[in-house]
Amino acid sequence: MIEELARDYITEESRTLGQLPLPAVRRVVEALRDAFARKAQIFVMGNGGSAATASHLACDINKGLGVGREKRFKMICLNDNIPTMLAYANDVSYGDVFVEQLRNFLRPHDVVIGISCSGNSENVIKAIEFAEARGAVAVGITGFNGGRLAQVARLSIVVPSHDMQVIEDAHLTICHMLFRLLEKTLASPRPAALSLAISTPDET
């Protein structure tokens, strides 16, 4: 019974990954490459599991694409500063925890990425709408039918599934895909020896 359920999950996961909208992924990669070329800032955010995915993406982009390169990405995860989030949640509202941070830092032509499985997280939507109004490039990574996020973001990647866990898995796969595609296409590659050292885990 358990093994059958596990196989069913793998089957749904494989089906979903096989149907990811790759043209949408390409457009997001192009937006991130453009931000890199212009030294623009990139902001990313999410709630719950999506917050962990947002933090993971910022780690991969900042460290994984930074070590050994003179020029680096400038990515900030808005859900990593817990005291700031709690202050806004307590004194303003939880719906404003991301948009209020953007008011401090956002510049026209920066990139703002919102991750929400349902596409209907109020605080993500408010931040994306603010980004669009300020002339930034707004990106939504979502699932189900895309929700409001897919409607208000300039670029969106909608995972074709109605299973929350499968969508979250696919979101992490998309983030790793963005990392790998950027790594392969950046104009300033790392020295070969350093690239190998970073890609190969320490076995000690």
The residue assigned the tokens 């596990």 is 6
- pLDDT tens per residue across span 98-119: 999 999 999 999 999 999 999 9
Q: How far apart are CA 146 and CA 167, in angstroms?
A: 11
* Mode of pairing for the β-strands spanning 111-115 and 41-46: parallel
pTM of the model: 0.91
Q: What is the DSSP letter of 141?
A: E
pLDDT band at 197 (very low <50, low <70, confident <90, very high): very low
Q: How far apart are CA 198 and CA 175, in angstroms?
A: 18
The residue assigned the tokens 């020896």 is 193
Domains of the chain: 2-187 (3.40.50.10490)
- pLDDT tens per residue across span 133-189: 999 999 999 999 999 999 999 999 999 999 999 999 999 999 999 999 999 998 655
